[in-house]
C-alpha cells in the first residue's frame, strides 16, 4: 500500500479516536460531578486495576505493553480533568522548594514508576510503616494518601541533575491534634549525605507556615540509628515507643514542638 493511502487511513482513525476520547472524557466529567456532590475521592485504585486487568486480558500479545501504557495515559488524563472539575476553588497549589542541594516538587500519581522503584525495595521498606510493594497499584494508593487535601507531598530531586532520589510528605496527623506527620524515604545511594537534615528544615517551615501545625511527628524504627541521630540533631525528642511486627520491633515516635521554636 502506498504511504499516502496508509496515512489516509490513519487520519480516519484519528478522527474516530478523537471523538471516542472526548466522549470518554465527557463521561469522566459526569463521574467527577457525582464525586464532587458525594465528597468522594477522584482516584479509585480498585476501578483502575479492574480496567488495566481487562486491557491485559484483551490485548494482542504484540501490543500488550503499548495498550497498557495507552490506558495508563487515559486514566491520568481522566484524573487531571476530574481534578479540574472537583478542584474548582480548591486550596492553593503546593509550592516547589529549593534547598542547598535539593529540589522538592509536588508529588503526583504520574511519579508512580520512580516511587515504585523505591517502595518495592525491602532495604528501604524495612524502615517504613508500609510493607514492600509488589505492584505499582500499591504505590499509586500510597501516593494518593500522601496527596490527600491538607497534606504536602513532594518528590525529592538532586537540584544539580534533576535525578529523582526519594519522597517527602507531611501529613495531617490522625493521632495527635495539630501535628504534622513526616514521611521520608530516599534511595540507598543518597543515605548518609545529610539530605534528610536538609529536608527536616523544610518540614519545620512548611508545617508551621502552610499547615499551621504545632508540632512535627516522625515514626522511626529504633534500629535505624542514622535516622534517629538525624532527628535528635534536628531537636526532635522521643515522645513514646510503640511495638510492631511480631511485637519485638520498636518504633520511636519522635516529636518536635514548633511553638517553642517560634516563640
The residues of the shown chain that bind ligand ISJ, judged by CB under 6 A, are 28, 31, 42-44, 47-48, 51, 75, 78-79, 82
- State which residue, 51 or 105, has the beta carbon closest to ligand ISJ: 51
Query: What is the rounded distance in angstroms from the CA atom of residue 183 to the CA atom of residue 96?
Result: 17
Query: What is the rounded distance in angstroms from the CA atom of residue 191 to the CA atom of residue 202?
Result: 18
- Give least dist CB 45 to ligand ISJ, A: 7
- State which residue, 83 or 117, has the beta carbon closest to ligand ISJ: 83
- Give least dist CB 74 to ligand ISJ, A: 6
- State which residue, 72 or 119, has the beta carbon closest to ligand ISJ: 72
- State which residue, 41 or 232, has the beta carbon closest to ligand ISJ: 41
- Give least dist CB 32 to ligand ISJ, A: 7
- Supply φ then ψ for residue 60, to 5 degrees: -75, 140
- State which residue, 75 or 206, has the beta carbon closest to ligand ISJ: 75
- Name the residue whose CB lies closest to ligand ISJ: 78
- Give least dist CB 73 to ligand ISJ, A: 11
- State which residue, 51 or 55, has the beta carbon closest to ligand ISJ: 51
Q: Which three cell numbers stand for residue 170?
A: 507531611
Which bin fits 37, alpha (ψ -120 to 50), beta or left (φ > 0)? alpha
- Give least dist CB 141 to ligand ISJ, A: 11
- Give least dist CB 41 to ligand ISJ, A: 8
- Give least dist CB 76 to ligand ISJ, A: 9
- State which residue, 31 or 251, has the beta carbon closest to ligand ISJ: 31
Amino acid at each position: 500500500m502506498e504511504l499516502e493511502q496508509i496515512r489516509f487511513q490513519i487520519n480516519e482513525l484519528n478522527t474516530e479516536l478523537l471523538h471516542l476520547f472526548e466522549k470518554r472524557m465527557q463521561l469522566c466529567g459526569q463521574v467527577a460531578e457525582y464525586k464532587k456532590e458525594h465528597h468522594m475521592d477522584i482516584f479509585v485504585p480498585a476501578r483502575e486495576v479492574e480496567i488495566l486487568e481487562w486491557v491485559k486480558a484483551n490485548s494482542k500479545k504484540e501490543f500488550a505493553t503499548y495498550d497498557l501504557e495507552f490506558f495508563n495515559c487515559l486514566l491520568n488524563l481522566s484524573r487531571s480533568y476530574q481534578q479540574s472539575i472537583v478542584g474548582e476553588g480548591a486550596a492553593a497549589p503546593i509550592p516547589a522548594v529549593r534547598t542547598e542541594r535539593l529540589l522538592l516538587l509536588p508529588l503526583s500519581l504520574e511519579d508512580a514508576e520512580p516511587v515504585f522503584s523505591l517502595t518495592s525495595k525491602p532495604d528501604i521498606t524495612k524502615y517504613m510503616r508500609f510493607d514492600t510493594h509488589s505492584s505499582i497499584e500499591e504505590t499509586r494508593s500510597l501516593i494518593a494518601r500522601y496527596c490527600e487535601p491538607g497534606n504536602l507531598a513532594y518528590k525529592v530531586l538532586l537540584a544539580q541533575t534533576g535525578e529523582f532520589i526519594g519522597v517527602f510528605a507531611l501529613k495531617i496527623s490522625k493521632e495527635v491534634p495539630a501535628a504534622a506527620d513526616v514521611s521520608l524515604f530516599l534511595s540507598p545511594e543518597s543515605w548518609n549525605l545529610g539530605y534528610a537534615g536538609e529536608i527536616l528544615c523544610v518540614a519545620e517551615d512548611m508545617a508551621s507556615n502552610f499547615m499551621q501545625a504545632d508540632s512535627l511527628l516522625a515514626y522511626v524504627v529504633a534500629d535505624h540509628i542514622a535516622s534517629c541521630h538525624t532527628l535528635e540533631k534536628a531537636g526532635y525528642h522521643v515522645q513514646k515507643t510503640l511495638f510492631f511486627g511480631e511485637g519485638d520491633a520498636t518504633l520511636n515516635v519522635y516529636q518536635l514542638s514548633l511553638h517553642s521554636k517560634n516563640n
